[in-house]
Amino acid sequence: MPPEQQYWLPGYGLSRHIVLGHIHYFLGPSASVRPYSLQGREGYLITGMPLTREQIDDLAAMSREYEKQEALRMTNQKTTGHNTHEGSSREPEPYINELIPVDPNRSRRREPDSRGPGR
């Protein structure tokens, strides 16, 4: 078994919530992790046994699922009502990736026919 060490894990595709919340599941209770930038790139400084490629892949899959669930949760909050807390006068933050319907005929009507009559 490899000795415990300190190393940097690139953060691309890894949710902070998942990495910080699940590192003990993968590396045991003595492991630690914190957000850390290395040469301008965001990631995590981990102290513990080295993660295997399969463990990193599992963290990435868990991160994708978590982000998908959070996006759905945010969308459902917006569609179920304006206030998420009863009695609160604060409006919820808008969902930044909200889809905006576009009429496909709209662009055709706005562009004049440049060919002229009879062409």
Query: What phi, psi does 110 have (nearest 5°)?
Result: -85, -25
Residue numbers of the domain that contains 16: 5-79
The pTM of the full predicted model, rounded to 2 decimals, is 0.61
The pLDDT tens digits of the residues spanning 65-106 come to 999 998 888 877 655 544 444 445 566 655 544 544 556 665
Assigned domain for 102 exists: no
Distance CA 28, CA 62 (A): 18
Assigned domain for 115 exists: no
Structure tokens at 78: 């917006």
Taking residues 13-20, what's their average pLDDT? Answer: 94
Burial of residue 8, with CB atoms counted within 10 A of its CB: 0-12 exposed, 13-18 middle, 19 or more buried: middle
The pLDDT tens digits of the residues spanning 49-71 come to 999 999 999 999 999 999 999 88
Does residue 111 surpass a pLDDT of 50?
no
Domains in the chain: how many in total? Answer: 1
